Structure 1
Amino acid sequence: MDFHVDGMTCGGCARSVTRAIQSVDPQACVVADPPTGRVQVQTTASEAEIFAAVKDAGFPPRTA
């Protein structure tokens, strides 16, 4: 799944987003690119679960 995260501006933000996603699915493969705000995730979790975790971490996601 691909989506954007507004406000993900640095490596620390990317790590926070990654941790939030991996709290739902520890085996998730996450590629977060702060300059573009793009996040790519390979996971068995649903989009709703991933979006909720990222939003709870303070980074509102939006579809790509």
Structure 2
Amino acid sequence: MYTLKVEKMSCGGCASRVTRTVQTLDPDAKVEVLLKDKLVRVESARAPDAVAAAITAAGYPATQVAAD
């Protein structure tokens, strides 16, 4: 599991779009959104940089902040 900071994520719609983006990349991914902190915790077989790149391409700049 790893955590990504998603700067432009500010509402429930943003959180849903980010979640869908991750699950499009990896349908088995587990995604937890911490909206007030602008963090997304992801458990996925895909590498953090690939997930961050997909979220960024969806319009939400994302960077990895922690790996659990």
CA distance in 2, matches of 1:6, 1:26: 23
Identify the residue that residue 44 of structure 1 maps to in structure 2. 45
Unaligned runs of 5+ in 1: none
Deviations 1:4-45 (A, max 9, x none): 100111110000100111111001000011111011000001
Partner-residue secondary structure (3-state), 1:35: helix
Counterpart in the other structure of 2:61: 60
Query: Equivalences for 1:1-64 in 2 at 5 Å?
Result: 1-64=2-65
Structure 1 stretches of 4+ moved >3 Å: none
- Which runs of 5 or more residues in structure 2 are unaligned? none
* TM-score normalized by the length of structure 1: 0.92
TM-score (norm 2): 0.87
The aligned length equals 64
Which has the larger strand fraction? 2
Contact 2:9 / 2:35 at 8 angstroms: preserved in 1?
A: yes
